[in-house]
Amino acid sequence: MDLRTPWESALKKAEIHDFKFHDLRHSAASYLAMNGASLAEIAEVLGHKTLQMVKRYAHLSEGHTARVVASMNNKIFG
């Protein structure tokens, strides 16, 4: 099955540069983490054997991190 040709065609049509198919794994891990998935759950979805590898893939946005801290502060301090 040829995935390269349609992938490259889609990137060209969308005018996206310097983006690899593998980058989607990083995106998936990050979106899972930002939507409450545990590291163990992300590891299961992506097939990682160690949590260290999951940490390499799951990148939280600054906005997400700020919302998590604000939510905690709201719950503690009202």
Confidence of residue 53 (pLDDT cuts 50, 70, 90): confident
pLDDT in tens, 11-47: 999 999 999 988 998 899 989 988 888 889 999 999 9
Dump strand ranges (E) for 1-78.
Answer: none
Distance, CA of 14 to CA of 39 (rounded, Å) = 32
Residue 11: Cβ within 10 Å count: 15
Domain borders along the chain are 20-77
In this predicted structure, what is the pLDDT of residue 61?
Answer: 67
CB 30 within 8 A of CB 61: yes
pTM of the model: 0.65
